[in-house]
Amino acid sequence: MSSDLLDAITALEEQKGISRDVLIEAIEAALVTAYKRNFNQAQNVRVDLNLDKGSMRVFSRKDVVEEVEDDRLQISLEDAKAINPAYELEDIVEQEVTPRNFGRIAAQTAKQVVTQRVREAERGIIYEQYVDREDDIVTGVVERLDARNIYVGLGKVEAALPQNEQIQGETYNPHDRIKVYITKVERTTRGPQVIVSRTHPGLLRRLFEMEVPEIYEGIVEIKSIAREAGDRSKISVFAHNEEIDPVGSCVGAKGARVQSIVNELNGEKIDIVEWSEDPVVFVANALSPSKVLDVQVNEEENSTTVVVPDYQLSLAIGKRGQNARLAAKLTGWKIDIKSETDARELGIYPSTTSTFIPVKDEESDYEDVAVDLYQDDEE
């Protein structure tokens, strides 16, 4: 074996991160193929590489049998004992059959096979590296675009951002740095394929984990997310410690934390509401920024009827029903919104069986951060 091959093994191990054992296995398999092909041999052989001595040897392997049917694969017990008296039936006899000019022929023939095995090993390493990152957020660089996908470089692999996973209205240019959410990693004949998304609710969850230490540390928990990517989202949060304001933690001082996420999502509006196990309170919170007078719950139909002040009806419903739609997704309850006047005419408000939701006159520090974002919801 030439020193060049040894140097190549060492370089591949250091540069590509492929273990020496994988490389040796690939080379040995290639040399077996080379021996059979170039020396017209059909026998069972094994190639032994000695990296310390820089040598390679070929050994034939024959099963010890009573009666030989194929002398290329079998040897009689009598002949085996002539080699070594310790041999018994079903043992394997190995004898060196290394051709004189095997080194040169083997190097030429094995090159392509070794290259392929190395490529497969590299792909395996990349797959294992990224399969553990499914449902995680990564930062990539836009490399190229075609009619269907945008390809984002993630280092050793190029991820595909399909059209249906792109935020409508966003533009992507080569060399742009963007954050994406890994939705799927799978093996293919061309290597690992990574699919990423900009629209997945998980992207919003990971962004909040990055920006809000209380969420990352588990002090504040994201309970649910409803998202219409590029336009508006709602998330519900809950603090296990009553002394902590979960909404305020997510918004941050003067809205700094949530604004950072809004900027990353190119202006996507984000409502942060407090989760409650009481559907009355949760549904009322979910319709933020609208004020709610009353929530009536029908558990059998998993539905609620919500009463809001007349001047808040448009805000509660939102443009094209978006606020109500997102609130329903966030809570898992059907929501029917009534104005106070209509509810009184129908005789459903006030109701002795319903729960009164007081309208807050005061606004907390974080409520005025997004007050200008929703003025168009009343159109």
Model confidence over 285-309: pLDDT tens digits? 999 999 999 999 999 999 999 999 9
Q: Is the dihedral of CA 295, 296, 300, 301 positive or negative?
A: negative
pTM over 0.85: no
Question: What is the per-residue pLDDT for 366?
Answer: 45
Question: What is the per-residue pLDDT for 154?
Answer: 92
pLDDT > 80? residue 39: no
Stronger pLDDT, 97 or 375, i.e. the higher one? 97
CB burial string 44-72: b at 16+ within 10 A, e below: bbebebeeeeeebebbbebbbbeebeeee
Rounded distance between C-alpha atoms, residue 259 and residue 359, angstroms:
27
Q: Tokens at residue 215, please?
A: 């969420």
Question: What is the per-residue pLDDT for 144?
Answer: 93
Q: Average pLDDT of the chain?
A: 85
Instruction: Give the pLDDT band (50/70/90) at residue 356.
Output: low
Rounded distance between C-alpha atoms, residue 259 and residue 128, angstroms:
35
pLDDT in tens, 202-242: 999 999 999 999 999 999 999 999 999 999 999 999 998 98
- 150 with 166: CB under 8 angstroms? yes
Average pLDDT over residues 134-151: 93
Average pLDDT over residues 253-268: 93
Strand order in the sheet with 220-228: 220-228, 232-239, 269-274
Percent of the chain at pLDDT above 90? 51
Does an H or E element contain 204, and which? helix 201-211
Cis peptide before 162, with omega less than 30 degrees from 0?
Answer: no
Stronger pLDDT, 371 or 341, i.e. the higher one? 341
Question: What is the per-residue pLDDT for 3?
Answer: 60
Instruction: Give the pLDDT band (50/70/90) at residue 372.
Output: very low
- 251 with 271: CB under 8 angstroms? no
Stronger pLDDT, 367 or 277, i.e. the higher one? 277
pLDDT > 90? residue 169: no
Q: Tokens at residue 291, please?
A: 């004020």
pLDDT in tens, 46-74: 888 776 676 778 888 889 998 888 888 88
Question: What is the per-residue pLDDT for 6?
Answer: 66
